[in-house]
Structure 1
């Protein structure tokens, strides 16, 4: 249990970086950021695949198809929607929407009632869910006030950004549950090799997508500099960091957590991503969080602690 929580915390710390990358690259289209991140991931996975070649050789065709589906939904589509939402509506609204994942995922896991997901009774989960929901509301209250006071922004742009954010939530509701299903159905498979497999199948898709993007941009006579944009060193450095840490290593850690924790508990631990994203955002701004934000963080942490303790008790009595 403790190791599972630590793995989930490590994944959240690295996933939180995804929220500030679009802010560091405002002049880059969201589609290029998504494709660049997963091209970097695929290239990095080639030498990693040699390390895990024995495990990868044992994957069947059905496993590779599952890895492809997970990569398309949980990698390319999710980050495309998230980066687009941040660029359209700014960071506050997408952060609020992604912050609902612990609640959305826990409810989805319970409704499916698969594997250990249905072991914990609703009465054991609801207190932690209520605390996490209250914490999320507090953490985002100040940001939402600023969002509402900004009259210069186009309302339709905000609405479009919110819709894209909802799409990102949908992608990341399906991905961790299905990924955990596969890992539990194949306990003999290496979690690191499974993360590498997802990176490998993403590479040809990302390369194809980039070729289409470059062709379309050239045809539109755009001023955007192909292939790496106006800040090639900054863009390349961020994409490599995202590919290695936010994509591959975070997935390895999450896979390890998925094997140690019930999905209903694992879902609530995604709150670490929100906490880390907010920490990075405030650090980037050079601002101190408000008292209400600190209260929200405290509620989030208490909710997670209660969730873990409830999961431990359920595992002992099972």
Structure 2
């Protein structure tokens, strides 16, 4: 079993439970040693006195706050601990917030929280159940490794997790950071927007984290093995070029065809209310529905097209299974007549 990276207490109100903090993720990337080119000599990072050039041991390093060039206020680790006694050993929940109200940009690193003994399972389970029932997260602050963190304590499956968060002043304003954000004058045409929406709907999928892998790390490992075996290194395909704004609609149409769909559904300008009825009457004609066939053998894109033809509400947000469920009742019905309606 893994050892906790931090131990202390978790409290809400007067209820307190000893807990341990455990890493929830691990790094699987390929790690390299730094070498001097043309040799097998390792290059190391060292703590070096800038004036003398001599290496300094870790225990001899203190923190200095610079007032001016060469002038510092020196702080010892023990002094930093003394200004907030006990803060580094407690996670105090000060309030609870609806998870839906928290923008994901504020979340940082995730840790598991576990009770420090079986005798605390009841208190731990009480908080877990209460948070799950209310869909809320406890907001807290705590100190770890000389830094105070804002954190959210929430439910993940059958455990509590602690997610460190960014403070508001740490989140940058995108309008100050990005020079070329779209302006209102750059609004897409209705035809382009319809095609983009259709492409998103056709490529939508259920979230399954096991479907995604770190392909780059795999390629790095293959590169190492190829060089070790003296094989030729195969270069990857170049990055795609930026889409030409003039050909945007043509690119969208090709994307739809590549995704297994047809050209985007036609989009016409809205019809004035006074003429809507007359236009519908002009376009009314009876045509039999196409046979359903075996729905289970159809792709999600094909199911979506059937749902669009039958004007099934909410089809754009449905999964493949939900589309099947919505389409199946019509399978057992006799072929019926339907009207062709103008697209508005």
| Structure-2-length-normalised TM-score | 0.17
Which protein has greater RCO, CA pairs closer than 8 Å, 6+ apart? Answer: 1
Q: Which of the two has higher C-alpha Rg?
A: 2
